[in-house]
Structures are given as C-alpha cells and as structure tokens.
C-alpha cells in the first residue's frame, strides 16, 4: 500500500453525498445485511471479521449500533478489547485476540483489536520500533492464517477531524447522556493526536497486504460513516456468493 | 535442518548407557526439575512449552508421568489434544492450540499438538500437499510468536521401533491394566507406519528452524527416553538463568 498521509484524507463525505438519501440507503443496506448474515450462517463455509480502529471519540460504538442493530445476534458477535488483564499480559499479545476470532458462519466485530498493541503501546513508549516491526509481521501472519481458514478480514479506520474529535470529547462532559463515556485520560489522548497519527500511518504502511487492506472511513458524519462501512460489508458478503445448502430432506 | 531418515536413527539408548545408573540419574534430574520449576515461576519472565509427538504406543503418557511427576502442578500443566470438536473445526487449526499456550512462569506439556494437523490429516487424505505447506508456514510463524513472547518451545519426537510398537499395542489387548488404552483404530494406525514416517519426516524438513529444532528421542526403553527428555529440559531451564526476584521487603 502506498504511504498514507492522514492529513490529506477526507474526514467528511464527498460533496455529492446527500444526507437524507444516504440515510434511506442505509435502511435498505441494513435489510440486506440481515438477509446476508442469514445466508452466511446457513452456508457455513466462511466467516467475517470486522476490525474497527480509530482515535478516541471517532465513533466506534455508534457505528456498531448503526450498522449491526437488527442483525440476528446468533450470527454476529461484538468484542470490545479493553486494557489487557494480568493473565493476558502473561501471554503473547495475540493470545487473547485469537480466542475471539469467528467460527465459520459467524460475523465478529472487534471494537479495538490487536492493533492497539502497536498503537497505544508505542505512543506510551512501552515497546520500541524493533518490537513494533516484529508485531507487524506477527499480525500479518495471523491475519493470513485466518484468511486461509475461510475468514474475510475487513479493517476500518474511522477518520475524524481534530475539530470533530474535540467537540465529541467536550460533549462527554456537557451532555448528561454521554457523560458515562468520559474517561480520565481523554484530554491527554486528544493532545497526543499527532503521535497517534504517526503510529497509525506506520500500521497502514506495514499491515496492508493486497488481500487485507485498510479502509479509511471519513467519520465526521455518522450517517456517512455508517454508509461506508455497511456498503463495504454488503459488497464483501455478496462477493462470497453465499448459498443456502440444498436440502437433504427428500420430497415425498 | 538436514533431511532426517527415521530408519537411520536409533530407537534404543547408546551402548554406553547403563539402565541402573541412568535410573539413578533420572531421580536426581527430577529433583532438579522441581527446583527449576520453582525458579521459573518466581522469575516470571519465561515460559516453556514441551511438545510431545510420536506414533501410537510411542509412550507419551508414560513419559509425562516419569518426567513431570513430583513437580508442583501449580507450575506445570498438561493438555492432551484429542480429535477436534465441531466448534474447534469451525476455526483455523491453531485456534484451539493457542488457547493452551503457557503464561509466563509456567511449563506447559502438549500431549500431541498442532502437528497432528499435518500428520493424521495428511495420512487420511484430509488435506493436500499445498495445504500442508501453508500449515507448516503457519506453525513456524506461530512458534516464533511464542518465542518472541518469552516462551521456549521444546519439540520431542518419541522414536520407537516397529517391533516395540507392535508389542506395546499387543499388550493393550493382553494386559488387563493396559486394556483401557486400546482403541479400535490401533491396528490400522500401526499398519500405516510407513505413511506416518513419511509425513513426520516432512514435518522435520519444514518445521525445524535453528531456534526451534526437533529432538528425536530413542524411545524403545522407558528409562532412556525419560532421561533424554528430562536432561534436555533441565539444560534448557538452566540456560535461562532463572533468578528469584530480589525481595522488596526491607530488612529491619
């Protein structure tokens, strides 16, 4: 993948996109996803792993609600990776990640992922560049292993502007409904925006094989961000050519 | 690793080895392992994964009893991989393996392992050569990941002669104490000895990086087999230079 300069990539929808029309399209996409998930489950040969990354307040939680609500929860699981536990830290960094990969027939959403282990760890100076490179290789190998076992890996980076990010973080303080999301480190993380940008760009540089690219999602507007992800997921599922197995029940 | 021809490798101890003296040495080695496990646990920086492979009746169970009895079970775990479950088969072949890797401070014994997925599956024609090669690469990457996280991986192949193997399988029928080990497929697997030898040799060819070689253990005699493994494990632990952390309790 050519080097990505995040400052040159849009955080808002293309000028041609219309909010009302896009929201109608999203409704239709959600219906399609309900049907496609059912096929994925019945077909039983493939699985899909959706990896969501983005800076603080880039809207990962809202995106999950917007795209995946309505899908049969028997076929889709969401796992939010938090700070690793002591036992998780006593293993290699992919140990806890691997446990959450989807079985055939399933969709799995990672709210944060293995990439945190080459992002926050780097910004906080917990690992050096050499270790980051070893981890990039390990991540690429890991995703290849999953792909070879029938898992499609979709990686999304939710790209928000600094203005939008600061506004959302402010809302966590002023909006009573959002106050529960406020965390002590919020201000500090926002102030580290440049450092996060650098390590994200390094991730895109090293972990974007042709078969497993990053999708950079303009994420300032919720309706457009949801559209982008839902459409990519829909197109991916359609391309799998999922089939209901022919029935084994004989006709009388 | 140079190509290995199992028919050229000994299944019995070197002529110089004496049974009585070796058994006394084994007793001493077990004492050392008790002490070294305690250090491994206290030191908390390393872990050890001991992989045991071998044809049917090569004596994996007996080896585990002989080498690891007496070690504090808080610091050593044994996991015997059986035929995969439906849920395990719905994931990549390393999914269930990765869950059982040791935390820092621990010794983990695999009674059979990820290598079954390039052995029995190949003999039974469940995977083709191309898939076997993909899995060899995946296994090498996986073991490297573990090593980079502080795990020493020790791989042992218990090498028994055809005569010894057949005699032990026969005992499962005639010896009341061993009858519980008899399985319906035993005769068939013994008759596939040549096929198993070929796929084992292919494993040694492709999965023996310099940092993670196979140890081929002459395994016809229980006392020698135990000696070989205990000594290798002891030497490995000694080389880790395990230290009791200096106490943080201040002297009065």
pLDDT > 70 in chain A, percent = 97
Cα separations in angstroms, B35 against A163, B41, B70, B229: 60, 10, 10, 17
- Mean pLDDT, chain A, whole residue set: 94
Q: Does B87 touch chain A (CB under 8 A)?
A: yes
B32 occurs within a structural domain: no
Taking only the tens place, the pLDDT of each residue in A75-101 is 999 999 999 999 999 999 999 999 999
Q: B80: domain range? A: 39-239
B251 occurs within a structural domain: no
Mean pLDDT score, B5-25: 96
Show residues of chain B in contact with A103, CB under 8 Å: 87, 90-91
- Measured between CA atoms, how close is A148 to chain B, in angstroms? 8
Work out the number of other CB atoms within 10 angstroms of the CB of residue A205: 13
- Give the separation between CA B41 and CA B124, rounded to whole angstroms: 41
Rounded to 5 degrees, φ, ψ at B2 are -65, 150
B212 occurs within a structural domain: yes
Contact call for residues A98 and A82 (beta carbons, < 8 A): no
For chain B, the domain total comes to 1
Contacts of A154 (CB under 8 A, 6+ apart): A48, A49, A50, A51, A215, A232, A233, A236
Work out the number of other CB atoms within 10 angstroms of the CB of residue A111: 18
Task: Please say if the pLDDT value at position A63 is more than 60.
Answer: yes
Beta bridge partners of B49: B108, B153
Work out the number of other CB atoms within 10 angstroms of the CB of residue B139: 23
A244 occurs within a structural domain: no
Partner residue facing B141 (CB), from A104, A141, A151 = A141
| Closest CA in chain B for residue A41 | B90
Structure tokens at A109: 């959403």
B8 occurs within a structural domain: no
Residue A250 is predicted with a pLDDT of: 62
- Write out residues 141-160 of B within 8 Å (CB-CB) of A: 141-142, 144-146, 148-149, 151
A1 occurs within a structural domain: no
Residue A120 is predicted with a pLDDT of: 94
A204 occurs within a structural domain: yes
A248 occurs within a structural domain: no
Q: Give the helix ranges, DSSP H, for A44-192.
A: 60-68, 86-89, 95-98, 120-123, 129-148, 162-174, 186-191
Cα separations in angstroms, B205 against A39, A144, B6, B15, B137: 42, 22, 12, 28, 12
Cα separations in angstroms, B136 against B9, B118, B202, B203: 23, 8, 10, 7
Contact call for residues B151 and B49 (beta carbons, < 8 A): yes
What value of ipTM does the predicted structure carry? 0.91
Q: Hey, of B145, B150, B151, B153, which one would you mutate to test binding to chain A, going by the most A CBs within 10 A of its CB?
A: B145
- Tell me which H or E stretch contains A26: helix A19-43
Tell which residue, A54, A185, A34, A170, has the closest CA to residue A119. Answer: A54
- Give the separation between CA A167 and CA A189, rounded to whole angstroms: 14
- Give the separation between CA A158 and CA A220, rounded to whole angstroms: 9
Taking only the tens place, the pLDDT of each residue in B31-56 is 999 999 999 999 999 999 999 999 99
Domain CATH number, residue B166: 3.40.50.300
Residue A179 is predicted with a pLDDT of: 83
Mean pLDDT score, A2-16: 93
């Amino acid at each position: 993948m050519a080097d990505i300069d995040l400052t040159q990539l849009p955080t808002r929808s293309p000028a041609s996109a219309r909010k009302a029309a896009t929201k109608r399209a999203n409704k239709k996409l959600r219906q399609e996803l309900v049907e496609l998930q059912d096929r994925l489950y019945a077909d039983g040969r493939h699985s899909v792993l959706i990896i969501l990354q983005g800076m603080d307040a880039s809207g990962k939680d809202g995106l999950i609600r917007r795209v995946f609500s309505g899908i049969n929860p028997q076929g889709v699981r969401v796992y939010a990776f938090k700070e690793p536990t002591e036992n998780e830290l006593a293993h290699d960094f992919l140990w806890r990640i691997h446990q959450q990969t989807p079985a055939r027939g399933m969709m799995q959403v990672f709210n944060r992922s293995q990439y945190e282990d080459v992002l926050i760890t780097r910004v906080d100076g917990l690992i050096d560049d050499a270790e980051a490179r070893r981890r990039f290789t390990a991540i690429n190998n890991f995703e290849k292993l999953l792909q070879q076992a029938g898992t499609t890996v979709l990686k999304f980076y939710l790209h928000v502007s600094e203005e939008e990010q600061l506004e959302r973080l402010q809302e966590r303080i002023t909006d009573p409904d959002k106050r529960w999301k406020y965390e002590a480190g919020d201000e500090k993380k926002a102030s580290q925006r440049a450092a996060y940008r650098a390590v994200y760009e390094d991730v895109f540089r090293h972990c974007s094989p042709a078969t497993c690219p990053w999708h950079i999602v303009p994420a300032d507007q919720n309706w457009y961000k949801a559209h982008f992800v839902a459409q990519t997921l829909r197109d991916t599922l359609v391309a799998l050519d999922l089939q209901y197995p022919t029935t084994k029940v004989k006709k009388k």
